[in-house]
Structure 1
Amino acid sequence: MKKRSIAVAGVLSAIAAANLAPAFATPAAVSDVKLAWADAAHSAVKITWTSPLADTVVLTAAFGPQTLGSTAAGAPNELTVPVAKFGATYDPAVISQITVTDSAGAKATSVKFDSYVPRGVPSSVTFGAANAVQGTTKVEQEADLTPGDPLDVSVPLRFTPRLKTDCGDTLFATSTSPSFKLPSPGAPSSLWINTANEWGVPEFDAGYLGYGITTSALKTSAPTTSPYGQVFTISGYVLRNHQYYAPWNGDCGVEQTEPTGGIVVVQARKDSASAWGVVGTTKADAMGRFSYQVTNPGTRQYRVVVPNYAGANRLEYGVAGGVRTIVATTRVLSAKFLSTSVVYGKPATAYLAVVPGGSQRALLQAKSTTGVWSGVTYKTLSAGKGAVAITWKRRGLTAFRWYSPAVKTGSGLTVGAAFSSPFYLTVR
């Protein structure tokens, strides 16, 4: 009886103690995640939330979740994150969100936001003074898929030209003006315009491979001499030096391609003290080959030029080929005896006709029995024609030829001297 009373009393005491114990409320879950720029320079994003517990802050974006940081229970519920952590992008469909998870496993999320930067593409690119590269930037503005998110601000775009030459990058001055003027790179290159807003500059752009800047190479062939008034051919082929670049793996180098349909200009001048003039133009074929025919007007210097070209997707630096002197030589139309056989002691008439026609002092030559050519007589031509009578006092067959000296054309070009082919006289 006594033991039972003691036991009952103990139970009653325990119940009373339980009823007198203080009641503890369940902690509030994390909530109210907000985003704002940390400063006027947009160097960082400030994330705030409400929570009594320890928390972890995670960024969820296209590239997967990324832990930005954590806070202890009782610490301020905020985190300032450098803007570079968010990853600027040229893709407006890349949407991000902040998730804060407390130590009890509860989660709260921010509104969705983007870190979109409009892409800038070189436009109206052309050549400036000293072959500078100049143009403007076309901004490709896409629709905002998170309109009104708290990180949207209105700031001017910043433009930084980036030139990759010999597979190395050069960044030029940043400006809020879309126009640019860059010195000639002197080699195959690729041009980008890095655009930046509050999110900075996207690091990777697989959607645009750059505006191509190419150079030309040229091989030509032509004769060194050509008869006056006759047609000769200047021919060759054109190659384009192009820099290829794959931004996804960094593969870069220079290759040569054939510029189908490229313009080729043939130029000529009297001498090195004279200005170049255009003889004519032609186009390269599908293999980069070209040819152009010229009727020889007299001795001139020639070169082939591939002119500069500016197009929607490519700027091509032209090239001037090497200088070639093509000598014009007097063309003999006729050289003969009017009668190829005469009686000993009778005269024979030697005739000559040449172009260009002038008053050249031509020399008739004969070949001795030992094979030596020597002068017989001179004849001053009239309009490039003339005949002279000689009495040849060596019986048998004798070879003769005319020598016509160099002459100037009406335009002042030189036409070189020429020998006729041998012609024959028989003295019976």
Structure 2
Amino acid sequence: MVQVVVAIAVANIAGFARLTANLAAKISTSEYVTTARLMGVPAHRVAVRHVLPNMAEPTLILIAGAFSGALVEISGLSFIGLGAQTPAFDWGTLLNDGLDRIVVNPVVIVGPAVALTFASLAALLVGDGLAAAANPRSNTTRARTTRDPAAPTIAVEDDAVLVADGITVRHGASGRPLVDDVSFTIRRGEVLGIVGESGSGKSLTASVVARLLSEGLEASARRLELGGVDLLGRVPDRVLASRIGLVYQDPGTALNPAMVLGIQLSDVLRMRLRHSRRDALRLLTQGFRAVKLTDPEGRLRQYPHQLSGGMKQRAMIASAMSTKPDLLIADEPTTALDVTVQREVLTVLKRMNEESGTAVLFISHDLGVVRALCDRVLVMRNGSVVERIDDVAGLSPETVEHPYTKQLLAATPVVRVPEQQTEAHA
């Protein structure tokens, strides 16, 4: 048996060597490895800290597969008389011994066969579990949102669609607060803007409302309700799909390049809201017409690469509004677009908001865009609301109070037309 095990091990060396060499070569060119080398980290620490952990998942899966295969190979060699010899035995010898009695007593064959199959599958499952535990990208805790027992602190209007009181987000491992006690309400037909620099907590706040918090984070709130639905409790997926619409920053990454628009944009309508395929496509066609997309029926048969950036963003808005949601969350939907297309998309959002009465939570870092669209604005910095602006029309450095808001306004470019050019046009 020793010679058999050694022979199988030697036969598998080439496969292990090729896989580990390819993985190490790929990981060694990664930016984090290059940065570690430039910082003077020794080679052995780079290997142990950066390379091996990122190789662990495929390597452990390969080891589990090789172990499972080795069990079958050893049993096969013993079955044909080249493995374990009497008085030693394994599953292969048991199968060989029972072959002559398979008609009289088939259990002598079934037992070793089932044991071999079970052991092989168990090895593969154990390997998958070890690989998942060793993967640094998946070794995180699941996100959860809990209720803060403190008393509510905000006044709620009668026509409020969304009530968010005391949203706090912490990093699960360190407990470090990322969003600290953010409260706001959005009335029906109102557009509430949240502005701030990158990392200020805008998208994290919206992810708590949408129940899409990333793994490894923990959120709490004193109150979080959408149209009378308690978002801190158990909310069916169908309710979330019909009550909340989402428009992401980059329509190119939000759409599947391998599927036509009609198939992927109708998923929520068909799978969650139980519409037939025909009804779902009809609703999407109506939505495409509402956002002024030409040839809506033809667009549903096209792939994302066949549409421009503005057309793809309009299609995303139409898809989000097709469920007639109570709340539309637009997470920087114009950042990836040029100025002309930005104006078109903002016009579509404002018109659909006025026509449907849907409340909109609009996230941006551009106060110029927010001034053109929103009714009220929250300014966030370092996870907290530093200023609330109710008069967006008169927004200027003279009307705001917080220095950070003044800095944001100063960073917003303003195109000024020279007086001579104005007189020439006149």
TM range (shorter): under 0.3
Scaled by the length of structure 2, the TM-score of the pair is 0.20
Whichever structure has more strand as a proportion of its residues is 1
Greater relative CO, 1 or 2 (CA 8 Å, sep 6+): 2
- Bigger Cα Rg: 1
